[in-house]
Chains A and B, each alone.
Chain A
Amino acid sequence: MSGLKDAAHLFRFAGLFVVAFLVFLVVRGYVVPKTFGQYGHYRGAALGEIAARPVKFAGHQTCEGCHSDIADTKTKGAHGHVNCEACHGALAAHADDPTSVTPVKPDTLTLCVRCHTATAAKPKSFPQVNPADHMGGVPCETCHNPHSPALGADAGASPAAGGAK
């Protein structure tokens, strides 16, 4: 017995370790998020949180739901593959509430030249003009319908019919 009596301080120390380990487990249980490790070494709930962020670009499918006439005009022309919001900007707010949020018509003098200004860096097959020579400050939509830009390509695609309202 005397040997064990001499070792009492060791048992106290061991007890301290056990208590510390239990405290660690309890603290860990509270501090580590519930979904940590669900899919890997990260918080699984983060995926849902990131996926829940709001959308700003509605997507052309949404636009075409209401503006099918313009979509039809556009499909026939050279801008058929250009999505609505590429020019009109992010309009999910308009799609959610069409009456109170109305889009601003883009200024063709700044919009069109972004893509169509001639520069050696663009692919040769891409239609390019020198804005100063080509139109001299006259807005593009005076001659071209932005939704179907070829001149006289489609009688139904006049600026009045296809232009943004």
Chain B
Amino acid sequence: MNISRRHLLVLLPAAAVAWKYVEAGEPEASPNYRMSEHWWGMLINIPKCIGCGNCVRACATENEVPDGYFRTWVERYHVTDTNMTNPEVISPDGGKEGFPVAEEDAGKYFFVPKMCNHCADSPCTQVCPVGATFVSPDGVVLVDQKYCLGCAYCVQACPYGCRYLHPTKHVADKCTLCYHRITKGLTTACCEACPTGARQLADLKNPNDPIHEFLKTHPVEVLKPQMATGAKAYYYGLDGSVR
């Protein structure tokens, strides 16, 4: 195709105007929600988890997570008395359909739900070359999927393995802490579906949130604290063998 200089001069501004129109599409956010009033986290109560997989299924339904990929998953740890440092960890299909029956008197078993820790000093957001992933003003680590290139630096950078490349969108995908729900006053899908209350959404800026009393009175740990990620998934009853 031959484009003359005159045509190019007409086409370029036209393309620019069209691009501007594409960029202008801004959907309505939640009108009564103020980002500056929230700082979100999650409390995970390990002794309450029964490994039913409700959270994994609910997350997949709510967020249309493709099969074989997980924004949250449940691991079952098996620690024997003589080999504390090498726990046997299983997570069949992310624990989506539960776990095989564990034998009695064979050491210690417990379930550990895993998800994005929504780190305040997140390694994944720091490596993004284009500014497609970020910590929102209310403390949620999000991916701008219109802006993401799919380079997967963030997937490698996350110390908790919480990100994946979406198999059809070819962009980074991860837990949004159900941002579309919490900004509407709902809890996350995993918390809504958890039958035992093992997961609780926590708003650390809300002085009336029971999280403050819980953190004050219970021993609580985050995963990989030595990495100083500022993780906000608080685990109660976390065994030292959990990686």
Asked if A13 is an interface residue, CB under 8 A from chain B, the answer is no
Q: Which residues of B contact A42 (CB under 8 A)?
A: 131-134, 144, 147
0/1 per residue, A82-124, Cβ < 8 Å to B? 1101110110000000000000000000000011011111110
- A30–B19 CB distance below 8 A: yes
- A126–B134 CB distance below 8 A: no
Asked if B87 is an interface residue, CB under 8 A from chain A, the answer is no
B-facing residues in A117-151 (Cβ within 8 Å) = 117-123, 126
B-facing residues in A39-69 (Cβ within 8 Å) = 39-43, 45-57, 59-60
Q: Which residues of B contact A165 (CB under 8 A)?
A: none
Query: How far is A39 from B106 in the complex, measured between Cα atoms in Å?
Result: 52
- B192–A60 CB distance below 8 A: yes
A-facing residues in B23-54 (Cβ within 8 Å) = 23-24, 26-30, 33, 35, 47-48, 50-54
- A57–B26 CB distance below 8 A: no
Describe B's contact surface by its main secondary structure.
loop
Asked if B61 is an interface residue, CB under 8 A from chain A, the answer is yes
Q: Which residues of A contact B134 (CB under 8 A)?
A: 39-42
Query: How far is A49 from B99 in the complex, measured between Cα atoms in Å?
Result: 36
- A126–B20 CB distance below 8 A: no
- A90–B61 CB distance below 8 A: yes
Asked if B183 is an interface residue, CB under 8 A from chain A, the answer is yes
0/1 per residue, B66-98, Cβ < 8 Å to A? 000000000010100000000000000000011
Query: How far is A126 from B111 in the complex, measured between Cα atoms in Å?
Result: 14
- A47–B29 CB distance below 8 A: yes
0/1 per residue, B102-125, Cβ < 8 Å to A? 111110011100000000000000
Query: How far is A123 from B51 in the complex, measured between Cα atoms in Å?
Result: 10
Chain A interface residues (CB < 8 Å from chain B): 30-31, 33-36, 39-43, 45-57, 59-60, 79, 81-83, 85-87, 89-90, 114-115, 117-123, 126
Chain B interface residues (CB < 8 Å from chain A): 16, 19-20, 23-24, 26-30, 33, 35, 47-48, 50-54, 58, 61-62, 76, 78, 97-99, 101-106, 109-111, 131-137, 142, 144, 146-147, 176, 179-181, 183-184, 186-187, 189, 192-197
